[in-house]
């Protein structure tokens, strides 16, 4: 059964800034007017809800209120003790326009207890026809992650490239599932943005990234003389692992020697727009 969730105002107005269009933004700040919905896939009447922020959670990086879902209830809960969540939090429908720029979903995520951090979350971009837990679970998630102690009492920013969904209308679905007897999973600052490149001549071909694969240093060069202002590396889980800021340079170097071998996404930002490249660390 789908239930109206009465928290967090929908901030999904379109606003362009710094060569990006914000397609949807949710900060879980108020108790009315949201348009969000919840589904209780496990039927225990425990689900996603609004949690009031305080000085402790602010120190973790959670500004104000945030969304959360439990896999364990305190003595005052119904029922108390371990839960087996299959809880769904759904946004209103969001239109993702066709674009020659990347579309990125970002959010803050964490767990309250470093001794019991293993909350699991999957995120889906679901069409309107996927209107039940059973149908959503048939979809391939764009993000799946089991939290660790490193994610506890922190508000890590995760970023996921969802450019393949351009031209579709979707709901963003957060599913807390397949975990028990941990504590609380929390979520904040959910944002979907799309690059709106300043000129049609701004494209990936203008950027050379070499060597690729690389072991230590990667060169980033812009042939159109657009000044590079930052380079951000994210891993396959969407976690930001390195950020480099530059003083408007057309050729930069980034050191990846300390990264674990694997595939990373490199977001390159200039004054005229952004582009994302895939790199491999040997």
Q: What is d(CA 112, CA 55) in angstroms, rounded to the nearest whole number?
A: 14
Residue in the structure block whose two tokens are 């060069």: 221
Q: What span, in angstroms and rounded, lies between the C-alpha atoms of 87 and 170? A: 19
CATH architecture observed for domain 204-281: Sandwich (2.60)
205-227 pLDDT tens trace: 788 899 999 999 999 998 877 78
Q: Confirm whether 2-195 and 204-281 share one CATH topology.
A: no
Whole-number pLDDT of residue 58? 92
**Confidence check: pLDDT of 197 > 70:** no
The conformational region for residue 45 under phi > 0 = left, psi -120 to 50 = alpha, else beta, is left
Q: What does the H/E/C string look like for 236-280? A: CCCEEEEEEEEEEECEEEEECCCCCCEEEEEEEEECCEEEEEEEE
Span 217-264, pLDDT tens digits:
999 998 877 789 999 998 877 788 999 999 888 899 999 999 999 889
> Where residue 119 falls among pLDDT bands split at 50, 70, 90?
very high
The pLDDT tens digits for 6-42 are: 333 222 323 333 467 899 999 997 654 478 999 999 9
The H or E element that residue 58 is part of is helix 55-60
CA distance linking residue 129 with residue 138, whole number of Å? 12
CATH code for the domain defined by 2-195: 2.60.120.200
Sign of the Cα pseudo-torsion (2, 162, 106, 147, in order): positive
Q: In which residue are the tokens 């066709």 written?
A: 98
| Domain locations in the chain as residue ranges | 2-195, 204-281
Q: What is the pLDDT of residue 37?
A: 93
Burial bucket for residue 212 (CB in 10 Å: 0-12, 13-18, 19+)? middle
Q: What is the mean pLDDT of residues 46-73?
A: 94
């Amino acid at each position: 059964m789908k239930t109206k969730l009465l928290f967090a105002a929908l901030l999904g107005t379109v606003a362009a800034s710094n060569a990006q269009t914000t397609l949807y933004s949710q900060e879980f700040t108020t108790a009315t007017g949201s348009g969000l919905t919840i589904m209780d896939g496990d039927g225990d009447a425990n689900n996603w809800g609004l949690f009031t922020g305080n000085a402790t959670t602010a120190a973790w990086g959670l500004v104000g209120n945030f969304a959360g879902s439990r896999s364990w209830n305190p003595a005052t809960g119904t029922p108390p003790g371990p839960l087996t969540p299959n809880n769904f939090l759904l946004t209103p429908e969001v239109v993702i326009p066709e674009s020659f720029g990347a579309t990125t979903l970002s959010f803050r995520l964490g767990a309250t207890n470093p001794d019991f951090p293993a909350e699991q979350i999957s995120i889906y971009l679901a069409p309107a026809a996927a209107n039940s837990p059973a149908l959503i679970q048939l979809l391939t998630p764009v993000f799946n992650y089991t939290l660790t102690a490193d994610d506890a009492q922190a508000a890590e920013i995760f970023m996921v490239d969802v450019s393949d969904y351009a031209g579709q209308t979707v709901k963003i679905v957060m599913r807390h599932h397949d975990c028990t007897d941990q504590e609380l999973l929390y979520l904040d600052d959910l944002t979907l943005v799309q690059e709106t490149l300043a000129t049609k001549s701004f494209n990936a071909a203008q950027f050379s990234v070499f060597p690729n694969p690389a072991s230590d240093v990667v060169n980033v060069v812009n042939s159109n003389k657009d000044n590079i202002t930052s380079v951000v590396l994210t891993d396959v889980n969407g976690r930001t692992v390195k950020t480099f800021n530059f003083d408007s340079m057309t050729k930069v170097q980034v050191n990846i020697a300390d990264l674990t071998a694997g595939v990373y996404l490199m977001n390159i930002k200039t004054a005229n727009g952004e582009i994302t490249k895939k790199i491999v660390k040997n």
